[in-house]
Structure 1
C-alpha cells in the first residue's frame, strides 16, 4: 500500500482527499485571538485592538515551541496552553500572572474559543464539489481526535466523518503512518490521495514523503519557508520531495487538481 511514486511519472487520478484542520479548514488564528482577548482582558484592561494583535502574534509564534513539545509528549495540552500564555505575559512585563491567574486564563480561554470557531468560506463549496464528484474526504490533525472532532462540529463540518488525531495511531505528522491511516480509512492508496495543509513542512513535505499528492495551502501568499526554518524531522527529506509539493492559495483550486483533466 505504501509505495513510493516514481519521480517524473504522472500522478494517478485522485480518489480521496485528506485535510489538515487548523488554519486549513478552520480559522484557528481568529478564534484563538478572540479567546485570548476574553481570557486576558481582566489582566490587560487597557489593551486596544493593536495591542491584542501583538499579543496574538507572540502567542501564535510560540517561541518556546510548547505546542510541538506537547505533540511530542513533553507536556499536556492544558500545560502547553498555560506555558504559552506565561511566556507572553513575561515578554510584555505584565505582573500578576501567577499560578491562579494562569489557571483562570486556561479556563476562560477554553470556554471562549468554541464560540469563535468558524470554517473558512471556501470550505463548504469545496466539500460540496467533492461530494458531487463522489470523492471521499477526511482530516488528519496534530491534535487529539476528540478535541478536533468537537472543533469540526463547532465549525459546522459534521460531514467530515473520517478524522485521524495524534492519539489514533500514537504518532504525529510528519510521520508517514499518520497519513497512511487517513488513506486506510478513506479506502485509497497514498499515491491517489491529495493531502492539503497550511504548514509547508509538516503538511506539504511530510505528506509528499509519505507518498501522497501533497498540496500546500498558502492562504497568505507568503511563499515556502527557508531551509533555516525546517523542522528537523522533515529536513532530511526536504530536498528530495519539496518539488513535489503543489501550492494553492485557496481550497477552490482543489477542484482542478482532483478532476481527471487536472492530473
Structure 2
C-alpha cells in the first residue's frame, strides 16, 4: 500500500522511523552491560535489548501521558533490567552514573535509516510538505536529527508542547496546524501501530501509516497485528521507500 494522492503533507515519527533507534539501543546495551553487569555473556545481550524495548510495565508510555518524568521512567526500566539480569539495584546516585553512561552510548549510536534522506528529499520534490512529531523531548530530538543529517526536517511538536505525547489527538492536530494543512491532507508515518498510525487516524488525519520493518518489532504489550491495522484502514509499509509509490485512492 502506498501514499494516497490526496496527501499534501507527511509528518514523521523520529525514533525507529527516520532514525535507527533500535540499533542505537543495541549499542547502548552492550556498553551498559559491559559496565554494570559484566557477568552477563554477550550472547544474552539481545535479551536485555528486548526487555528495554518491550518495556513490559509501560513506564515510557506513562511518561508520554505526563504521569512520569523522563528520569523516573528510565530509572524504573534500568532497575527492572538489573533485577532481571543480576545487576545491582540502583539508588539515585547509582542511577546518575548509569544514566551518564546510557546518554553517551545512546548518542554515539544514532544513525539514520539508509533511505531516510532520499525519501525526505523525493517527497519534497513531489511538492509534499514534510515535518516531524515525536514523543521524546525537543532538545534530544533536535540533536538527534542534526547528528543524522536530517536537521532540515522541521521538528513541529514534541512531548514538551503539551506535556503529553501521542496518541493524544492534540499533538497530531497541532503538528498539522503548524504544517499549514488540513488534517485530511496529512499522513503520519511511524513504527508503532497503536500510538502512531492508529493515533493519527483517530485524530482525523488523512492517512495513518505503520512502518513494519522486518525484525524490528517490540513485542510484549505493543499491538503489532496486521489484522488490527486492516480493521482501522491503516496503511502498512515495509520501509520508508514505499511512501514514494503513489496510489489513486
TM-score by length of 1: 0.83
Gaps of 5+ in 2: none
Distance 1:77 1:101 in 2: 16
Gaps of 5+ in 1: 1-10, 232-237
Residue 118 of structure 2 is matched in structure 1 by 125
Distance 1:76 1:243 in 2: 32
CA contact (8 A) 1:199 1:216 kept: yes
Count, aligned residues: 242
CA deviations on 1:115-164 (whole Å, 9 max, x unpaired) are 11011111111011112112110111112222211111121111102421
Residue 212 of structure 2 is matched in structure 1 by 218
Distance 1:126 1:95 in 2: 44
Q: Does 1:89 align with 2:52?
A: no
Q: What are the residue-to-residue correspondences of 1:25-174 with 2, within 5 Å?
A: 25-95=18-88, 97-174=90-167
Q: Which has the larger radius of gyration?
A: 1
Residue 245 of structure 1 is matched in structure 2 by 234
Aligned-residue CA RMSD (Å) = 2.6
Distance 1:179 1:159, change over 3 A: same
Distance 2:185 2:215 in 1: 26
Distance 1:222 1:57, change over 3 A: closer
Distance 2:170 2:90 in 1: 40
Distance 1:229 1:43, change over 3 A: closer
Distance 1:42 1:108, change over 3 A: same
CA contact (8 A) 1:82 1:105 kept: no
CA contact (8 A) 1:198 1:218 kept: yes
CA contact (8 A) 1:208 1:241 kept: no
Residue 9 of structure 2 is matched in structure 1 by 16
TM-score by length of 2: 0.87
Residue 6 of structure 1 is matched in structure 2 by none
Structure 1 residue 104, shift from structure 2 partner: 0.9
Report the secondary structure of 2:100's partner residue. Answer: helix
CA contact (8 A) 2:5 2:248 kept: no
